[in-house]
């Protein structure tokens, strides 16, 4: 889980440092639609579910760990 949190923070940092155009592209890649409901309720429809995002991130963390071996120990217990 620590690797997942670390990876998430790096994406947050990248987004914060990105240009306005890059931020628009990131949002466009993640969000399918935005709707306004009653009482100005904002609804987001994402292109990827939270479960899919976690699975994709876990795969990327494993791949990164395999590339960095022997510097990492087995991270499977750390990934949900």
Per-residue model confidence (pLDDT) at position 9: 58
Please count the structural domains in the chain: 1
Reported pTM: 0.47
pLDDT in tens, the chain (80 residues): 555 555 555 777 888 888 999 889 888 888 899 999 999 999 999 888 878 877 877 777 777 777 765 554 555 555 54
Q: Where are the alpha helices (DSSP H) in 18-47?
A: 20-30
Per-residue model confidence (pLDDT) at position 2: 56
Range of the domain at 17: 2-78
Question: Kindly report the CA angle at 62 between 26 and 29, in degrees rounded to 5?
Answer: 15
């Amino acid at each position: 889980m620590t690797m997942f949190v670390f990876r998430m923070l790096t994406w947050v940092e990248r987004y914060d440092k990105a240009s306005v155009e890059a931020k628009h592209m990131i949002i466009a890649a993640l969000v399918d639609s935005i709707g306004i409901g009653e009482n100005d309720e904002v609804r987001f429809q994402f292109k990827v579910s939270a479960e899919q995002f976690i699975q994709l991130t876990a795969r990327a963390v494993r791949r990164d760990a395999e590339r960095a071996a022997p510097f990492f120990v087995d991270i499977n217990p750390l990934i949900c």
